[in-house]
């Protein structure tokens, strides 16, 4: 397994990490993802560790804390062999202080996560979404307090607007508070909006991308094709309403190219889609999920090889969409292109 620096931090993370949204799954969304109990989760963790995957990602909102509890049970006795990433900020109740990242909420959320995980520290704490109601100074001062107390080692964000992330980084620099070193983002061959503003920001400010839903919410598993309906066992029947949208024709165009490259390489469609992401700028780790051992082992086949330059170009072309203003139409003009060369 390849290891990469997480942003500007000294933390080295595996190129593939494991998302535990399937652990203890319940409810219409997480129940459809999977419902691994502690025994099955322990087996999946065993496979991950054997393959060099040492980073496990969860969140307090995943099945109302059950994912953290099952993960804690699965890693019991081997805490030093793993890194834990968890997220907080989304609603965990109906009370006025059961959501967001105020000082009160954030401290309570971290203490609760530590109890569920059965650990004394979180390696990477990420804010699950931007909270417009909490001042940046209050948020960052609280994170500084948690880091100084040893309860949190590194901090990051998830699903943040670029200007708010940049504002937070500037505020942290001004006060000497911990900087966000990671941004957990949606990024896939059928969802490349990350590249417009967030990728250049990440490159400039050394913020590592941790990619969620790298297979486009299950659409790039190889089970969906132009001539085939969504299979009966697909979770998309229950979860499509929660998924980032994608036009059918765009999806099929990408899958057609994935099928073509799969035939050339002998690799599976998801392995190719994951490998493409692993070669993108700013990506520190791609979070894979699995409901069972078979899915996990298939996804592990995404590492240890590389797509050719020509194959990457073919996937780039098939997955390209016209970017939103202000990145178009000016991006097509020669002068603007010179001012904004592509990231490599």
Show which residues are catalytic.
Answer: 62
Look up tokens 């490159």; give the residue: 203
Q: Name the burial class of residue 324, with classes exposed (0-12), middle (13-18) and buried (19+) by CB atoms within 10 angstroms of its CB.
A: exposed
Tokens matching residue 332: 């097509």
* CB neighbour class for 231 (10 Å; exposed up to 12, middle 13-18, buried from 19): exposed
Beta strands in 94-227 (DSSP E): 122-127, 152-158, 180-186, 208-212
Q: Where are the beta strands (DSSP E) in 221-282?
A: none
Peptide bond into 329 cis (omega under 30): yes
Q: What are phi and psi of 155, to 5 degrees?
A: -125, 150
Q: Torsion angle, CA of 38/39/40/43, rounded to 10 degrees?
A: 110
Query: What six digits make up the tokens of 343?
Result: 């990231």
Q: Which two tokens stand for residue 193?
A: 């909006």
Dihedral over alpha carbons 163, 211, 61, 67 (to 10 degrees): -160
């Amino acid at each position: 397994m390849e290891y990469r620096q997480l942003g500007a931090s000294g933390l080295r993370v595996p190129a593939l990490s494991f998302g535990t949204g399937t652990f203890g799954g319940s409810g219409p969304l997480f129940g459809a993802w999977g419902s691994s109990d502690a025994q099955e989760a322990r087996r999946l963790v065993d496979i991950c560790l054997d393959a060099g995957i040492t980073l496990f990602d969860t969140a307090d909102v995943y099945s109302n804390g059950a994912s953290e509890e099952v993960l804690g049970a699965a890693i019991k006795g081997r805490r030093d062999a793993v890194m834990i990433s968890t997220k907080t900020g989304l609603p965990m109740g109906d009370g006025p202080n059961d959501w967001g990242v105020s000082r009160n909420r954030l401290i309570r959320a971290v203490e609760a996560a530590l109890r569920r995980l059965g650990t004394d520290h979180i390696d990477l704490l990420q804010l699950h979404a931007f909270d417009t109601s909490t001042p940046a100074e209050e948020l960052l001062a609280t994170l500084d307090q948690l880091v100084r107390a040893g309860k949190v080692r590194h901090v990051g964000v998830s699903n943040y607007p670029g200007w708010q992330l940049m504002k937070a980084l500037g505020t942290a620099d001004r006060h000497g508070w911990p900087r966000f070193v990671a941004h957990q983002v949606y990024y896939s061959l059928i969802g490349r909006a990350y590249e417009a503003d967030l990728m250049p920001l990440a490159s400039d400010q050394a913020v590592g991308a941790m990619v969620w839903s790298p297979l486009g919410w299950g659409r790039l598993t190889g089970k969906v094709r132009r001539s085939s309906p969504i299979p009966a066992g697909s979770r998309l029947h229950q979860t499509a309403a929660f998924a980032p949208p994608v036009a059918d024709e765009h999806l099929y165009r990408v899958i057609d190219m994935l099928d073509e490259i799969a035939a050339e390489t002998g690799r599976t469609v998801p392995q190719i889609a994951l490998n493409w992401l692993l070669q993108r700028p700013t990506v520190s780790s791609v979070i894979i999920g699995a409901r069972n051992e078979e899915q996990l082992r298939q996804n592990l086949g995404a590492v240890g090889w590389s797509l050719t330059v020509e194959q990457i170009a073919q996937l780039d072309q098939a997955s390209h969409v016209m970017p939103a203003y202000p990145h178009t139409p000016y991006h097509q003009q020669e002068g603007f292109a010179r001012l904004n060369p592509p990231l490599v």
